[in-house]
Structure 1
Amino acid sequence: MNQQVSTTSIETMRPVGAPKPAKLPDHVGKKLRALEIIAEDSRTLANSTKDRLAKVHGQMAQGHKIDRDELAELEGAQARHRERYEATTQLLHNLRSFIGKLPYNTEIAAYVRSSRVRLTDDAKPPQAAVEAIRLDIINTRTQLFAIERAASPRDEQEAIIAAWVDQMLTKGQPRVAVTNGEARLTYDGTVNLDQMSHVRLIAIGMWMAGVDRDELVQRLTDMLPEPKGDTLSRDEREAQIVESRARILQLERDEEAAISRYAEDGIHILRRPDASPEAVLGLDIGRKMRAAA
């Protein structure tokens, strides 16, 4: 017989002086339990529908006449229940993993909406309204990918090439000592070349060959293709990435708020397994913690 372990007993088992897990708002536990119930109910419905399908297929095998529409409806229902179970189970796994990575000894704030969520165009069915938000999420993610992949201005590219050459020449420079009448060259304490990465070996070759730093930088920059399309400087890129990620998170919060509001009216919309844990759990972990998560 399985026994439930209370929060109090878990805290008692924690070694004295051990760091405490992040403290979460009370509503997080309720949300997790609600999702667990959804997963459990979906699995039960999927299994019961599967049993009914098996019975119908058995009747077909015995030559009984079967209502094809009823059969198709059962198959569709079984697939929907199974999809809801699998998606919700995966989402729960992602949420628990997210919680487990939150810093110890911290108190996580609840996200507070500035106003009650406005359900989108009343003319749209609930599923279509949520899908409209999801389309905005996809489009913003596409824009974010383009921002991350946008070329840097020529002068910035040249500076990056120069920094790489400087780094390689530094990596390739050995420490030299003479011990017992023998020269000994080491690289970060390593003597065996077989244990070195190919990058380190290239760096050693560059240094040993006495490569002229300025000449190599010029040769490499001359090989750079001209940037195509719009370019973004480092500062511009970072600012636009922050802005896009903030917009995606806000859209995911809107998505979760809409799903929750529709659920209050008895309309249940499947959550995405890859939905933002911060949005689903209604948390505000802050930009620094968000970047590390």
Structure 2
Amino acid sequence: MVKSIANAVQAVTSEIEDVRAQIRTLTETIEGLESALPSIEEAEAKLSRIIDDLAGKFGPDLYAVTAAEATSAQFQINVEGNYRFGPLMAWLFGDALKEAYGRVIRERLGAGIPEAERQKRLAAARAKRLQLEIREEAIIAEAEAAGLDILRRGDADPAVVLGMVEA
């Protein structure tokens, strides 16, 4: 009888360790997907939006060039005093900046993951992890009912532990 109890404890321990290993693997997959680089096309589109937004923040001081009493010194003071160079550079050289940074993106980025694909893979991995966490909690509850204490993971989903999520 003692041997059968030991075998049962070993079986439960082995099963919980297997489920937890799968949860760890999926968690690493999710973290990798969350931090994965975007596709080159998406990175270039984002770069274009950033440069356009930055250029839109520059508004040349027309008073300095249209007022009768305006001087070149006043124009320089206004530009230096009121504007950072990023918006000015984007306003003046936006297309050149997009091309230069675009080359860097194409050379260094490598194959990223398109956002739609990333979201699809994240949803699948999160759903699989949730199913594994539900299975893990079922194993723990069954073991507790048999008098065996199994500690829960510190990062276990509270909704699963409290039985608020169904398979």
| Both structures adopt the same fold (TM-score exceeding 0.5) | yes
| 1:61-72 aligned within 5 A | none
Q: Deviations over 1:66-86 (max 9, x none)?
A: xxxxxxxxxxxxxxxxxxxxx
1:129 aligns with 2:15: yes
Alignment-derived partner of residue 247 in structure 1: 128
Q: Does 1:145 align with 2:31?
A: yes
Q: 1:265 to 1:177 in 2, by over 3 A?
A: farther
The number of residues matched between the two structures is 143
1:205 aligns with 2:85: yes
Separation in 1, partners of 2:12, 2:117: 38
Normalised to the residue count of structure 1, the TM-score between the two structures is: 0.43
Contact 1:162 1:217 (8 Å CA) reproduced? yes
**Structure 1 residue 123: deviation in Å?**
9.2
Q: Distance in 2 between matches of 1:212 and 1:150?
A: 30
Q: Deviations over 1:127-161 (max 9, x none)?
A: 22111110000011111122223333222221111
Cα distance in structure 1, aligned partners of 2:54 and 2:44: 15
Q: What whole-Å deviation, never above 9, does each CA across 1:62-109 have from its counterpart, x for those lacking one? A: xxxxxxxxxxxxxxxxxxxxxxxxxxxxxxxxxxxxxxxxxxxxxxxx
**Residue of structure 2 equivalent to 1:119:** none
Residues 283 and 123 of structure 1: is their aligned pair in 2 closer, same or farther, counting only changes over 3 Å?
A: closer
Q: Secondary structure at the match of 1:151?
A: coil
Percent identity between matched residues is 24
2:88 is aligned with what amino acid? Answer: M
Q: Which residue of the partner structure matches residue 154 of structure 2?
A: 273
Bigger relative contact order, structure 1 or 2 (CA pairs below 8 A, ≥6 apart) = 2
Taking the aligned partners of 1:140 and 1:165, their CA distance within structure 2 comes to 37
Say what the alpha-carbon RMSD is for the aligned residues.
3.1
Describe the shift of the 1:222–1:127 C-alpha distance in structure 2 as closer, same or farther (beyond 3 A).
same
**Structure 1 unmatched ranges of 5 or more:** 1-121, 184-191, 194-200, 286-293
Structure 2: stretches of 5+ with no match in the other structure: 1-7, 64-73, 75-80
Greater share of helix: 2
Alignment of 1:66-145 (within 5 A): 124-145=10-31
Structure 2 letter corresponding to 1:208:
L
